[in-house]
């Protein structure tokens, strides 16, 4: 039996993949932080899907993609990406590895995303937001802004880390290096939304994968 549960958020064009394997920690601070990101970004407070004990959320994807057809190798990568991103953030004393130390909040965790095939390279940030059912973020006049990557750490410049990375950060960098045409952007507002996206290929399957995070900036 599959260790993954798929559930669509009520009233949103987004679905969430949950890890319900015995090894998934359902009571961790990481799970709480990831749920906070989903609830806040997709306005899903009170959604019974998130309230139910269906496992630990590890990825979001558009609802018109068949989550049951996401290859196992891709699911495994997305799970590890979510776990590694949050472990790295914790090791650097920040909530989101994308928002980094630019964020004044630590209650929001990062979650992996999968868009499948399409044109989502740099320059198509608006298409990415629309695909994630977050196009409303642009209605307030905000524009996507590129986030630079530090040459010394391999992480967004929002993260201030030591020159010698921890094992958690090193593992995250290894995972991110599997993405080609990788780019990061954010949309600033009352809550700043960060998206990291790149092309992922594994066992004959390919598509756009990455991370989604939130930050609070004054």
Most confident of 97-101, 163-167, 193-197: 193-197
What integer pLDDT is reported at residue 162 of this predicted model? 72
Residue 43 confidence (pLDDT) above 80:
no
Higher pLDDT, 77 or 28: 77
Considering only 2-6, 136-140, 170-174, 202-206, which range has the smallest mean pLDDT?
2-6
The pLDDT-based confidence of 27 (bands split at 50, 70, 90) is: low
How many CB atoms within 10 Å of residue 140?
10
The pLDDT-based confidence of 45 (bands split at 50, 70, 90) is: low
What integer pLDDT is reported at residue 217 of this predicted model? 81
Tell me the pLDDT of the chain averaged across its residues.
87
Q: What is the DSSP letter of 171?
A: H
Stretch 162-170: mean pLDDT, rounded? Answer: 84
Record the tokens describing residue 135, joined without a space.
Answer: 């196009």
Stretch 41-45: mean pLDDT, rounded? Answer: 76
How many CB atoms within 10 Å of residue 110?
29
What integer pLDDT is reported at residue 25 of this predicted model? 63
Instruction: Calculate the alpha carbon distances from 57 to 7, 37, 42, 150 in Å.
Output: 10, 11, 14, 29
Record the tokens describing residue 17, joined without a space.
Answer: 């993949």
Could you tell me how many residues make up the chain?
218
| Closest-CA residue to 82 (of 148, 34, 41) | 34
- Within 8 A by CB and 6+ apart from 119, the residues are 127
User: What pairing do the DSSP bridges indicate for beta strands 56-62 and 192-202?
Assistant: unpaired
Percentage of residues in the chain having pLDDT higher than 90: 50
| Closest-CA residue to 36 (of 149, 191, 207) | 191
Higher pLDDT, 43 or 101: 101
Record the tokens describing residue 181, joined without a space.
Answer: 């045409």
- Within 8 A by CB and 6+ apart from 32, the residues are 109
| Closest-CA residue to 163 (of 171, 172, 154) | 154
Which residue, chain included where needed, has tokens 């921890």? 166
């Amino acid at each position: 039996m599959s260790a993954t549960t798929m559930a669509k958020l009520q009233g949103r064009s987004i679905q969430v993949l949950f890890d319900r394997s015995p090894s998934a920690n359902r009571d961790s601070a990481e799970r709480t932080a990831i749920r906070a990101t989903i609830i806040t970004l997709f306005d899903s407070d009170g959604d019974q899907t998130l309230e139910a004990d269906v496992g630990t959320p590890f990825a979001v994807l558009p609802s018109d993609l068949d989550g049951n057809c996401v290859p196992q190798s891709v699911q495994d990568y997305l799970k590890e990406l979510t776990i590694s991103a949050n472990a790295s953030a914790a090791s650097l004393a920040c909530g989101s590895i994308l928002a980094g130390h630019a964020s004044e909040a630590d209650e929001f965790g990062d979650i992996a995303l999968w868009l499948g095939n399409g044109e989502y390279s740099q320059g198509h940030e608006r298409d990415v937001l629309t695909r994630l059912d977050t196009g409303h973020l642009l209605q307030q006049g905000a524009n996507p802004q590129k986030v630079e990557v530090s040459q010394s750490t391999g992480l967004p410049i929002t993260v201030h880390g030591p020159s010698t990375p921890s094992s958690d950060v090193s593992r995250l960098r290894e995972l991110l290096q599997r993405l080609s045409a990788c780019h990061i952007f954010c949309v600033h507002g009352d809550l700043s939304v960060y998206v990291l996206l790149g092309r992922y290929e594994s066992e004959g399957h390919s598509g756009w994968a990455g991370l989604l995070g939130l930050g609070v900036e004054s």
